[in-house]
């Protein structure tokens, strides 16, 4: 499974990259898993303003930076979106990235790791609705993390206190990754059979 871990915010002082690094380090320990962090800060896309929906425009001309992002998404077998919660939802930059999609994530699984007030759970629930419209398969499990700034260091290491909790974020992440791998394998087999 090739999994893209999307950093869903670009603002200065963001905590999301270190949470994404924690996810990436954990995922890389799984067998037959390749991990790539895809940081939206590396893809400064303009606000989506195409005249026709991307799925229905045979003559589509895509912004160059957006095309690089779409190509990167298309390379992946599965996705993990790491997002903070902004005003009970996801950051605008993440929603804008989704607006460029056509079929890059079609019939591939996606998962969510969120942070913020109430662990970013409201952003995660909103994101699941958006993901389903992207034709990806949002898995049931997700990780809502409260206190990222204290719980994960700048190198993406979980604090010892949180590691010691058998029901804490590490156990939640491990379970979510196992579920994502199951869905990825099942959907890859189905896509191959259809092809």
Tens-binned pLDDT, residue by residue, of the chain (195 aa): 999 999 999 999 999 999 999 999 999 999 999 999 999 999 999 999 999 999 999 999 999 999 999 999 999 999 999 999 999 999 999 999 999 999 999 999 999 999 998 999 999 999 999 999 999 999 999 999 999 999 999 999 999 999 999 999 999 999 999 999 999 999 999 999 987
Q: What is the dihedral of CA 1, 16, 22, 43, to 10 degrees?
A: 40
Q: Strand pairing of 109-115 and 137-145?
A: parallel
In the chain, count H helices and then E strands: 7, 5
The pTM score is 0.97
Instruction: Report the pLDDT value the prediction gives residue 194, as an integer from 0 to 100.
Output: 87
Instruction: Report the pLDDT value the prediction gives residue 153, as an integer from 0 to 100.
Output: 96
Asked if residues 4 and 79 have their Cβ atoms less than 8 Å apart, the reply is yes
Instruction: Report the pLDDT value the prediction gives residue 195, as an integer from 0 to 100.
Output: 78
Which residue ranges form the domains of the chain, and what is each CATH number? 2-194 (3.40.50.360)
For residue 27 the two structure tokens come to 């995922």
């Amino acid at each position: 499974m090739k999994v893209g871990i999307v950093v869903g915010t670009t603002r200065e002082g963001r905590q999301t990259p270190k949470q994404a690094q924690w996810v990436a380090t954990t995922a890389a320990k799984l067998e037959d898993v390749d991990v790539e962090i895809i940081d939206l800060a590396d893809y400064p896309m303009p606000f989506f303003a195409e005249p026709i929906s991307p799925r229905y425009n045979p003559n589509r001309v895509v912004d160059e930076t957006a095309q690089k992002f779409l190509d990167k998404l298309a390379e992946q077998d599965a996705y993990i979106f790491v997002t903070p919660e902004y005003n009970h939802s996801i950051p605008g930059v993440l929603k804008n990235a989704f607006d460029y999609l056509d079929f890059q994530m079609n019939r591939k699984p996606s998962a969510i790791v969120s942070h913020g007030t109430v662990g970013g759970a409201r952003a995660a629930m909103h994101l699941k609705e958006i993901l389903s419209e992207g034709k990806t398969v949002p898995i049931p499990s997700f990780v809502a993390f409260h206190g990222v700034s204290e719980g994960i260091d700048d190198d993406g290491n979980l604090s010892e206190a949180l590691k010691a909790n058998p029901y804490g974020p590490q156990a939640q992440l491990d379970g979510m990754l196992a579920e994502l791998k199951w869905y990825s394998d099942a959907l890859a087999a189905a896509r191959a059979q259809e092809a």
